[in-house]
Amino acid sequence: MIRFEGVSRRYGEQVAVDRVTLEVPRGSICVLLGESGSGKSTLMRMVNRLVEPSAGRVLVDGRDVAGAEPEALRRGIGYVIQSVGLFPHWRVGDNIATVPRLLGWDAARVARRVDVLLDLVGLDAALFRDRFPHELSGGQAQRVGLARALAADPPLLLMDEPFSALDPGTRRGLQSALREIHAETGKTILFVTHDVEEALTLADTLAVLDQGRLVAQGSSASLLQEAEKGPVRRIFGKESLAFHRLATLPASSLARPEDARQDLPMLPADASLKQALMLMLAEGSACLAIPAEGAFPGGTLHWADLVAPR
């Protein structure tokens, strides 16, 4: 879907992005992870030509974006940023309808699309359609911003640290909502963050940047297994590597094939070992029940198995 071919961006003598080659598969969430100044936002903004590469090229669906008219290109790509950027004097419905109206959709189609998208992002259309941005919480505003980015049904979304200014609880809720929206729509998403936990929660493919260079790419699990030295270890946090690895492993993989006892705390069948550890600590329990789901027959997860050397 997206391919960066040896792209660089220089500002005078400063190199913001240095010869990056990266492919983002169609239908995946690719997370660009790095510390401030690593070049991740600059790289992402090359896709919709908010930043032009000094060298190399960026292709979307096999076409070099340099040959596209910028405004037309951007109307076909959803874009969500940290500050949301809602028009303050427009109601929520009008904000969401911005691009469809520019594309000439009729009023009835626009109205239907607004209501469908509000429902998709978890907001009641009857309650929120006519509100103004100042009447929204930060999390609600971000949901509206996501709905606006999806309005014209673009195949590609660019998300530049969209949840970083929100409180942890709201942020986790939006991460979960984004995963659900992605599962339902199959959009290709390029997501920028400096937060390791967020990257591990969202990424199908993870690309780690350091000082403008791509230093690692792959699945979260594979990168964590290899993060024993260098910038990747520093970015993930050497003291936290084992904890992060637990987030990439399913709790069901260590469950004993026992009946899920009703007197034990219940863990969702799709939970990670990190979630299992947190529930054990919160409940003061050395065992958790995991219900049957799909091909998994159910079982019990024991503390001893969780902490055993592997």
Average pLDDT over residues 89-100: 95
Query: Is 101 a residue whose pLDDT tops 70?
Result: yes
For residues 213 and 224, the model is more confident at 213
Q: Please state, for a pLDDT cut of 90, what percent of the chain lies above it.
A: 71
Do the strands 205-210 and 29-33 form a parallel or antiparallel pair, or are they unpaired? parallel
Query: Is 298 a residue whose pLDDT tops 90?
Result: no
The pTM (predicted TM-score) of the whole model is 0.86
Exposure string of 189-212, with b = 16+ CB inside 10 Å and e = fewer, is bbbbbbbbbbbbbbbebbbbbbeb
Give the per-residue pLDDT at 287: 92
- Under CATH, domain 2-244 is a member of which superfamily? P-loop containing nucleotide triphosphate hydrolases (3.40.50.300)
Query: Is 220 a residue whose pLDDT tops 80?
Result: yes
Query: Is 230 a residue whose pLDDT tops 80?
Result: no
- pLDDT bracket for residue 129 (50, 70, 90): very high
Instruction: Measure CA of the first residue to CA of the last residue in the chain; give whole Å.
Output: 37
User: How would DSSP label each residue in 94-134?
Assistant: HHHTHHHHHTT--HHHHHHHHHHHHHHTT--HHHHTT--GG
Average pLDDT over residues 72-86: 89
Give the per-residue pLDDT at 142: 92
Average pLDDT over residues 159-179: 90
Query: Is 218 a residue whose pLDDT tops 70?
Result: yes
- pLDDT bracket for residue 221 (50, 70, 90): confident
For residues 197 and 112, the model is more confident at 112
Q: What is the third-level CATH fold of 250-307?
A: CBS domain Like (3.90.1280)
> Where do the structural domains in the chain lie, given as residue ranges?
2-244, 250-307
